Structure 1
Amino acid sequence: MQYALELKNVHYAYHTLEGETYALKDITFSVREGEFIALVGPSGCGKSTLLHLIAGLLTPEKGLIKINGSYHPDNTSGIGYMLQKDELLEWRTIYQNVLLGLEIQHALTARSRALARALLTQYGLNAFANAKPSELSGGMRQRAALIRTLVLKPDIMLLDEPFSALDYQTRLNVSDDIGQIIKKEKKTAILVTHDLAEAVSLADRILVLTSRPATIGQTVNVSFSDPGLSPLARRNAPEFKTYFNLIWKELNPDE
C-alpha cells in the first residue's frame, strides 16, 4: 500500500548558543489517503515542529519523510497549511484573499478562478465574496481561510490549532463545519490540537505524543457505531467519553 504520508525514525533538535533542545525523537507513523489524524500531547512537546517538518519548512536531523511515495520532495505545493489565525489580508476582499495562494504559485487561470467561485458558493460565502474580512464573523473568516487552502488542491492538509482563536461556541460550530468539509473533499488531514474533545470529534486516529523530546506514546483508533456522525454529533455518542478518558489517562498518568 502506498500511503499519503510516511515518517520513519524522524528526529529533530533546535540548536542555540546555549546548546541543543531535543524536540522529536524516533517519530514513525503512516497516514492513509483520506485519513484524518490528530496529534495531541503536552504543551511544548513538538507538535507544531512536526507539522513544520512535514510541510518542508524544517529538515529532519535523522529519519525520512515520504509524501505520496517520494522522499524529500522538492515541490511541497501538494501540502496545504491552516494556522491558528486566518491571516486574511484586511485590504483584500474575501474573493481576493481566496485567490492569494494561486497568485503566489502563478496558478491563477480561468479554471482556478471558477473553482474559487464554486467553493465560495458551495460553502456559503459567495454572498460575501466582495466583503472585507472585518465584515465577517470569526467562523466565516476561518471558512474563507479553508477555501483559500482548498482551491490549491492540496493532497495533505496540515491544521495547526485552526480553531483556537475562536470563542467556545463558535469553535464547536466551525470545527464541525470544517471537519465535514474536509471529509466531503476526501482530503488527508493532520490536526494539532490541545483540545482532546476536538481530537476525538474529528479524527479517525489520534497520536498521543509524550513530553519533549516527543515520541509517540500511544495510537488510538477512533471508531463510532454510526460512521456517518458529524463531528458535533460524535460528542453525544456513547463512545466519545471512552476515547476521551483513554487519552486523558495517557497524558495524565498520575491523576
Structure 2
Amino acid sequence: MTVAKMFDRQTELPNRDQLETDLELKGLQDREVGQLSGGELQRFAIAIASVRNADIYMFDEPSSYLDIRQRLAAARVIRGLVTATNYVVVVEHDLATLDYLSDFICVLYGVPGIYGVVTMPYSVREGINIFLDGMIPTENLRFREESLTFKISENADELQAVHTQAYHYPAMTKTLGGFKLQVEPGDFADSEIIVLLGENGMGKTTLVQLLGGKLEPDDPKDKVEMRVSMKPQTSERSVWGGAHRSVSPKFPGTVRMLLIKRIKSMFMHPQFNSDVLKPMNLEGIMDQDVQTLSGGELQRVAICLVLGVPADVLLIDEPSAYLDSEQRIHASKVIKKFVMSSKRTAFIVEHDFIMATYLADRVIVFEGQPAVSSTARTPEGLLTGMNKFLRSLDITFRRDPTNYRPRINKMESLKDKEQKQSGSYFFVDTD
C-alpha cells in the first residue's frame, strides 16, 4: 500500500496537508510503505497517528531515526495536537527533545524486567533534573548511585596536555550515485572525541566509512590507512577492525562466546571489565544467545566490542540508538572515560544532542543539501562548531544552572530572540 492510500484510509482531521509539509512527506506519496527508510517511516507513523481524531494520543520514542531538525519538527507536530479536550502521552529517551515538547514529566525507575515505579508528575525542568540526579527529594529516595552533569571542565590547554600523538587526514571527495561528499583536511589527537554534526543524508556515515577504510575516496591516493575499530549504525552488520569481520545477531553462541572470540584479551582484562563491561551491564546477558538479544542489548554488546578491538581510532555511529535514557548516560560515560584512559581517538555520529554535547571535545560540521552534496568541515572547537551548526538550523540552546545540560529554547521565546540577536546559538553560561 502506498503512503497516499494509507493517509486516505486513516485521515479524520483536516490537518493532513500541514502534516505532510511539516514532516517532509509530500515527496513520498507514491512510495510503498514497506519501502520507506527508518526515518521516513518514523515521520510517516507520527503523521498517521496525528490525523486521527482521538481523546488520547500516545507516541513511543518519536525521535528514533530522526536528526535533530526532524526531531524538533516532530515535537512541534505532537505539541500541536493538544487541545482543551485531549492530552498526549510520550515515551522519549532523548532528553533534549523531551524537554522541548513536554508540559509535565513522570520519572520511571526500578529494575528492568523485575519492577518499575512511576513518580507523580513534575514540571519539565524538575522532572528531568530529578532523573539526571538520580534522587527524588520529596521522598528522600535515591534510585541511582551517581548523578550526571554536563559542565565543560576541560579547557584547551588541559586537553592538549594529555595528547601524545597527532594524526592527519587529507582533503578528499566521495561520489555515491547522485550524492557527493567533500571532506576538508583535518587533524585529531589521541584521548580526543570528535562528534560529527549534520542532518540525515549529509554523509556523516560516509565520512566514518572513509576514515575506517571501508570506502575508498574518488581519488585512491587519498585513501586513509589507520588501525581502526568501527561500529556502524546497525549492529546487525557491524564491522570490526581492518579485517572486515561481520558480527550478526545470528551468531551461533552466547554473548560470552562472542566476546571471547572477538576481544579475548580485553575481555579477560580486569580494567576493561570494571571500566566497560560492568557499567554497560552485560553480566545479566552474558549467557544469553546473541540471536535472542533485543536491539538495546545488541547495541550495548556492540559498544563493548568496538571499544575492545585493538585500534588507534574508534569510529562509532549512533551509540545511543536503541538505548533508554539510563543506558545512554552509562554508555556516554563509558565511552568518554575509555577514550581518555586508553589514549585513543573516537569519531562519533550522534543525534541525541545532550549525549553529543557531553561526549564532544571537538566537532565536524556538515554543510550542504541532504542527499545531493555536502561538505565536512575541518574539526573545530565544541563551542564554535555547535554555534555554527545550530545557526544553520535556526535553533538556540541554553544551559540548565543545576547540571549544565543543554536545553532547547522555545521558538520565538525571549531567550531564543536574545541569543539569536547576540549570535550565541549555543550558550555556555548558566541561566
Q: Match for 1:221 among 370, 381, 385?
A: 381
**Does 2:172 align with 1:10?**
yes
* 8 Å contact from structure 1 (residues 139, 174) kept in 2: no
Q: In structure 2, what residue type is equivalent to 1:121? A: N
Q: CA RMSD for the aligned pairs? A: 3.6
Deviation at 1:238, TM superposition (A): 4.1
Q: Match for 1:83 among 232, 242, 252?
A: 232
Q: In structure 2, what residue type is equivalent to 1:204? A: D
Q: Deviations over 1:158-183 (max 9, x none)?
A: 01112222234433333333333333
26-35 vs 81-90, which deviates more?
A: 81-90
Change (3 A) 1:240 1:184: farther
Misfit runs of 4+, over 6 Å: 134-137, 245-248
Structure with the bigger RCO (C-alpha within 8 Å, sep 6+) is 1
Q: Deviations over 1:176-196 (max 9, x none)?
A: 333333333332100012233
1:1-255 equivalences under 5 Å are: 3-4=166-167, 6-15=168-177, 20-22=178-180, 24-62=181-219, 72-73=224-225, 78-87=227-236, 89-90=249-250, 91-101=252-262, 113-118=264-269, 121-122=273-274, 123-124=277-278, 125=282, 128-133=285-290, 141-212=298-369, 213-216=373-376, 220-222=380-382, 237-238=403-404, 240=406, 249=425
Q: Where does the alignment leave 5 or more consecutive residues of structure 1 unmatched?
A: 66-70, 103-112, 224-233, 251-255
- The aligned length equals 214
Q: In structure 2, what residue type is equivalent to 1:99? A: I
Distance in 2 of aligned mates of 1:12 and 1:208: 17
Q: Where does the alignment leave 5 or more consecutive residues of structure 2 unmatched?
A: 1-163, 237-247, 384-398, 409-418, 427-431
Distance in 1 of aligned mates of 2:330 and 2:190: 26
* 8 Å contact from structure 1 (residues 9, 64) kept in 2: no
TM-score normalised according to structure 1 size: 0.67
Identity %: 24
Larger Rg: 2
Q: Secondary structure at the match of 1:97?
A: helix
Q: Deviations over 1:102-123 (max 9, x none)?
A: 6xxxxxxxxxx34322266323
TM-score normalised according to structure 2 size: 0.42
Deviation at 1:40, TM superposition (A): 0.7
